[in-house]
Chains A and B, each alone.
Chain A
Amino acid sequence: MSGQQEPSNPRSTRTPGSLRTALSEMPLGIKLALTWMLFIIGAAIYTRLDRLLGQALPLQDPFYQPFLFGEAKPVEGPSSAHILGTDVLSRDNFSRLLHGSWVSLMVAATVVLFGVTIGGVLGAAVGYVRGRWEAIVMAILDVVIAFPALVLLLALVSIYKVRNLTMIALVFGILGIPTYVRIARASTLGVASREFVQAAEAIGTRRTAILFREIIPNILPALFAYALINAGFVIVIEGTLSYLGLSVQVPEPTWGNMINEGRRDIRQTVLPIFWPGLFLTLTVVSLNQLGDWMQQRVAVRSSAL
């Protein structure tokens, strides 16, 4: 054991009160964004629970079309029975919006999960190891990036005749990996030359251990900051596909297909389009705000190293 003291890893400089400090330092806009995201995440979880419990929770059935059975009418305005009105098939808008949040969040979460885990590790590995493997991996990823996601999605739907949340999320997730690899690799190139990495190498620490203990923890904040912004982007893309009828199969509600369905009556009322549009916008703006705020914090911390 060497008597030399290893330079400190910046990850270890956190104080126990950093979360509370971060919350207190948050601007009002960021707090509102965080609140909205917590609401959406809560809504998504609540609607899943509702389905698991056979719609036992207090929320209207998002699929039930009352007009077929002589009850509510299509495209009704807000009322005590339907606080955000009804859609073209007289279904409750509020319930469908909450259920729609699950699809948006699941697609976004899958992309982030695939990106941060697979993309992050792969990017960090090639950025640290470098050499021939780096060239091969980056060349393959260039090809994947060039492949149009929409074409792949259409091909898979045509071949397998399946268009469910799993397939949509997997396609997005896999095609999202290369960007994370690039970011992770770029961050790793910077971190790998730091003193604490050189010190770990000097004392004979195994390269795998350096990768997972020293490098990856230090590129994670940058990856997470990007992931938040990327999640917003993915939600917009999913909404666009839904709007085009290429995302999950109806009658599963998504914000995009709600906008698409509301298009028919846009001259009569904009409400069926307005609500999902509002949810989509607020969610993307919130994710972007949180991502920007996190990026600023990462940048500040990096510059302080």
Chain B
Amino acid sequence: MKKSWLKLIASLFAFALIAAACGGSDSGSDSDTASSTDKEEVIESGTEAEGDVDTEVEEVVEKGNYGGDFIVGLEAEATGLRPWEDACSSPCLTMVVAIHDLLVQIRTDGTIGPWLATSWEANDTFTEWTFQLEEGVTFHNGSAFTAQTLVDMFELQKVGASAAGIVTAAGLKEVVAVDDYTVMYVLGQAHSAFPSFLVQTPLGAVFDPDAANADFDGYSMNPIGTGPFMMDKRDLDNETIVVRNPNYWMSDADGNQLPYLDSVTFRPIPDEGTRLDSLLSGTTNAMQTLRQGTIRDARSSKADGADIILLEFQGNNVGGGMYNLNNPPLDDVRVRKGLTHMNNQEAVIEALGGTGISLPGSQWFSPDSPWYSEKVAAAWPQFDLAAGKALIEEYVNDPERSDGRAVGENIEVELSCPPDPTLIAAMQVVEQLWSSSGLIDVNMTNYDQQTHIGYALGAAPDWQGSHGAHCWRWSSDNDPSTELNRQMAPHTLDVAAAYGLDGIFTPTNFFNWFDIEVFGWLVAAIGTANFEERYALYEMVMMRIARDIPMWYSGHTATMLAIESDIEGINGWVLPDGTFGGQGWAVPQLNQAFWSN
């Protein structure tokens, strides 16, 4: 019992951290399948028309040159390099995927493609998934990668602070080695999109379980994967250097062994401006950012002649916030809809520095996503101060109003965001618009990231946050089920029992909004592999969100990798089957990168 609680708590924090700090921990990709051989066109794509920021994928046509070091400016030091244990965001993921290979990768069209797993198939009920593995792959320490490796990894993953939640969400019960290079994942429930969970590093990044068991904490300083680069020097908060893995299993199209680079140096540079300056001055060769303001500055520098390439990406992840339905008056849909009507998304995006960079959100999918729905976009409440005020007024004058205040008295709403300057600016825009109605007393708060997450998460045993309107990020470029199913399940055991769903409970339903029909649609969506059927189900879910409004959206999260112009192979890296992968969330895939001169 105690162990299961510990597992639950660990899972919660892993989920919460990933949800809020990362917004999506997968190496997502652009859903645009376009490819180009015109390098100029690729370079110019960084200054595309407003809102259309995704950089087109460049086809690698030149033979790679061996040698050279590559220095990447990261937005922070990695929280840790244990895939199963450490909650990873972009900087951490950048290092993790340089050292560890994933079993599968997301292609640019959003489908799942091979990597260490060469092929896979499910049984008719989607409860057993059998994967064929690449043969002859070895870890950095010489150990062989086999199906048994994945079985042994699972023992750590199912209790890992980062992986346990994903194991639970996937319904993963067992990992079985069928033979040396065939492994079966056994699920407790049907899941037609199970491989999507293997794109996420906590479950899909392959590490040496023996090394992890030998030194659980020390693994973070000396990780052992099968990836293109091996750990050479780990100087926390200063620099981490990884060197070429001479026994790497992948080759390029001409049979040349990868990777091309001799080494990669990761330097955490937390200040956005300094990180960009480091690239412009040649101190680093690349930088990552998740801030629109930095993307704007990088575009400006490029327009002024800086010799850099901007690989921009705007995926499904969307900023905004959630309304806690446990907290009156947010339990009333009139209030939630009224507040959402009064949220000027364009102004919020401007405050975030994202004008011309971020698209306003209306659902969990960006317009480039195959899951995007025009119908949902049309249904989402648009900015309309008068309409919003009318709805709030109706609530305020309702004798049955839920907040216990007198008729005519203003409602009070707590609005909270983490203390990032752009988020604070965006929060003040929302506050001003809400307050301008004269019907809403807005109490703004800012807590550090951990407190902000904890406030929404609540505490054992109920896990009911006491937040009000709370800044948050939603969605990822992975399969919709990986995010939606765990956030739309019953938020308490009592709610679950009321609907005959005994024992099904998620602490990550931060809005405390449960709709049995939505739950049913989400379960149905992982019981079929038919895209049209799944699309229709997710569209219904999004329509219900647009009706009940448990959350609000600002803009889709724009990310960027800025790199020196003579480094190639980062935009346009290929999977073993020759299809293209992307570099969403500013996480570069470096195993095919090379210096062109």
Residues of B within 8 A of A (CB): 273, 293, 297, 300, 344, 347, 350-351, 353, 419, 421-422, 424-425, 427-429, 431-433, 436, 444-448, 451
B445 near A245 with CB under 8 A, answer: no
Given contacts A89-B428, A250-B427, A267-B297, contact A67 B347 (CB under 8 A): yes
Interface status of A163 (Cβ within 8 A of chain B): yes
Known: A68-B429, A263-B421. 9 other contacts (CB 8 A): A68-B432, A88-B351, A158-B447, A158-B451, A246-B419, A249-B444, A250-B446, A264-B421, A267-B273
Residues of chain B within 8 A of A154, CB atoms compared: 448
User: A251 to B417, alpha carbons, bound, how many Å?
Assistant: 13
18 A–B pairs (Cβ distance < 8 Å), ordered by A:
A68-B432, A74-B350, A89-B351, A89-B425, A154-B448, A245-B421, A249-B444, A249-B445, A250-B427, A251-B428, A251-B431, A251-B444, A264-B353, A264-B422, A264-B425, A265-B293, A265-B353, A267-B300
Given contacts A89-B351, A158-B451, A250-B446, contact A264 B293 (CB under 8 A): yes
User: A293 to B507, alpha carbons, bound, how many Å?
Assistant: 61
User: A121 to B499, alpha carbons, bound, how many Å?
Assistant: 67
Given contacts A261-B425, A267-B297, contact A249 B431 (CB under 8 A): no
User: A161 to B422, alpha carbons, bound, how many Å?
Assistant: 21
User: A251 to B351, alpha carbons, bound, how many Å?
Assistant: 14
Q: Which A-chain residue is minimally distant from B420 (CB atoms)?
A: A245
B428 near A260 with CB under 8 A, answer: no
User: A265 to B292, alpha carbons, bound, how many Å?
Assistant: 11
A248-276 at interface with B (beta carbon < 8 Å): 249-251, 257, 260-261, 263-267
Q: Which A-chain residue is minimally distant from B431 (CB atoms)?
A: A251
Residue among B351, B431, B436, B451 having the largest count of chain A Cβ atoms under 10 Å = B351
Interchain nearest-CB distance for A164 vs B (Å): 11
Residues of chain B within 8 A of A74, CB atoms compared: 350-351
Interface status of A157 (Cβ within 8 A of chain B): yes
Given contacts A250-B444, A266-B273, contact A245 B419 (CB under 8 A): yes
Interface status of A244 (Cβ within 8 A of chain B): yes
User: A257 to B419, alpha carbons, bound, how many Å?
Assistant: 11
B445 near A161 with CB under 8 A, answer: yes
Given contacts A161-B445, A245-B446, contact A89 B429 (CB under 8 A): yes
Residues of chain A within 8 A of B347, CB atoms compared: 67-68
Interchain nearest-CB distance for B464 vs A (Å): 16
Q: Which A-chain residue is minimally distant from B273 (CB atoms)?
A: A266
Interchain nearest-CB distance for A41 vs B (Å): 28
Residues of chain A within 8 A of B433, CB atoms compared: 68
Residues of chain A within 8 A of B425, CB atoms compared: 88-89, 261, 264
Tell me the count of chain A residues lying within 8 A, CB to CB, of chain B.
Answer: 27
Residues of chain B within 8 A of A263, CB atoms compared: 273, 421
Residues of A within 8 A of B (CB): 63-65, 67-68, 74, 88-89, 154, 157-158, 161, 163, 244-246, 249-251, 257, 260-261, 263-267
Q: Which A-chain residue is minimally distant from B292 (CB atoms)?
A: A264
Interchain nearest-CB distance for A95 vs B (Å): 15
A245 near B297 with CB under 8 A, answer: no
Interchain nearest-CB distance for A163 vs B (Å): 7
Residues of chain B within 8 A of A88, CB atoms compared: 351, 425
Q: Which A-chain residue is minimally distant from B350 (CB atoms)?
A: A74
User: A263 to B420, alpha carbons, bound, how many Å?
Assistant: 11
Interchain nearest-CB distance for B360 vs A (Å): 15
User: A245 to B451, alpha carbons, bound, how many Å?
Assistant: 14
User: A246 to B445, alpha carbons, bound, how many Å?
Assistant: 11
Interchain nearest-CB distance for B406 vs A (Å): 24
Q: Which B-chain residue is minimally distant from A263 (CB atoms)?
A: B421
Given contacts A158-B451, A264-B293, A267-B273, contact A65 B445 (CB under 8 A): no
A261 near B421 with CB under 8 A, answer: yes
Residue among A246, A257, A263, A267 having the largest count of chain B Cβ atoms under 10 Å = A267
Residues of chain B within 8 A of A67, CB atoms compared: 347, 350
A245 near B300 with CB under 8 A, answer: no
Interchain nearest-CB distance for B414 vs A (Å): 9
6 tightest A-B CB contacts, nearest first = A245-B419, A267-B297, A264-B293, A65-B432, A251-B428, A260-B421
A63 near B273 with CB under 8 A, answer: no
Residues of chain B within 8 A of A68, CB atoms compared: 344, 347, 429, 432-433, 436
Interchain nearest-CB distance for A239 vs B (Å): 15
Q: Which A-chain residue is minimally distant from B301 (CB atoms)?
A: A267
Interchain nearest-CB distance for B297 vs A (Å): 5
Residues of chain A within 8 A of B419, CB atoms compared: 244-246
Residues of chain B within 8 A of A158, CB atoms compared: 447, 451
Residues of chain B within 8 A of A260, CB atoms compared: 421, 424
Interchain nearest-CB distance for B282 vs A (Å): 18
Residues of chain A within 8 A of B350, CB atoms compared: 67, 74
User: A47 to B539, alpha carbons, bound, how many Å?
Assistant: 52
Q: Which B-chain residue is minimally distant from A243 (CB atoms)?
A: B421
User: A157 to B168, alpha carbons, bound, how many Å?
Assistant: 34
Interchain nearest-CB distance for A258 vs B (Å): 11
Interchain nearest-CB distance for B454 vs A (Å): 9
Interchain nearest-CB distance for B460 vs A (Å): 18
Residues of chain B within 8 A of A161, CB atoms compared: 445, 447
Q: Which B-chain residue is minimally distant from A266 (CB atoms)?
A: B273
Q: Which A-chain residue is minimally distant from B427 (CB atoms)?
A: A250
User: A267 to B353, alpha carbons, bound, how many Å?
Assistant: 12
B428 near A250 with CB under 8 A, answer: yes
Q: Which B-chain residue is minimally distant from A250 (CB atoms)?
A: B424
User: A188 to B348, alpha carbons, bound, how many Å?
Assistant: 58
Residues of chain B within 8 A of A64, CB atoms compared: 432
A261 is contacted by which of B273, B424, B444 (Cβ under 8 Å)? Answer: B424
Residues of chain A within 8 A of B427, CB atoms compared: 250
User: A63 to B445, alpha carbons, bound, how many Å?
Assistant: 16
User: A31 to B406, alpha carbons, bound, how many Å?
Assistant: 57
Interchain nearest-CB distance for B356 vs A (Å): 14
User: A266 to B271, alpha carbons, bound, how many Å?
Assistant: 13
User: A64 to B428, alpha carbons, bound, how many Å?
Assistant: 10
User: A74 to B346, alpha carbons, bound, how many Å?
Assistant: 13
Residues of chain A within 8 A of B444, CB atoms compared: 249-251
Residues of chain B within 8 A of A157, CB atoms compared: 447
User: A263 to B425, alpha carbons, bound, how many Å?
Assistant: 12
B429 near A65 with CB under 8 A, answer: yes
Residues of chain B within 8 A of A246, CB atoms compared: 419
Residues of chain A within 8 A of B447, CB atoms compared: 157-158, 161
Residues of chain A within 8 A of B353, CB atoms compared: 264-265
Residue among A251, A257, A265 having the largest count of chain B Cβ atoms under 10 Å = A251
User: A74 to B445, alpha carbons, bound, how many Å?
Assistant: 23
Interchain nearest-CB distance for A60 vs B (Å): 14
User: A257 to B444, alpha carbons, bound, how many Å?
Assistant: 15
Q: Which B-chain residue is minimally distant from A157 (CB atoms)?
A: B447
User: A158 to B446, alpha carbons, bound, how many Å?
Assistant: 10
Interchain nearest-CB distance for A6 vs B (Å): 59
Interchain nearest-CB distance for B443 vs A (Å): 9
Q: Which B-chain residue is minimally distant from A158 (CB atoms)?
A: B451
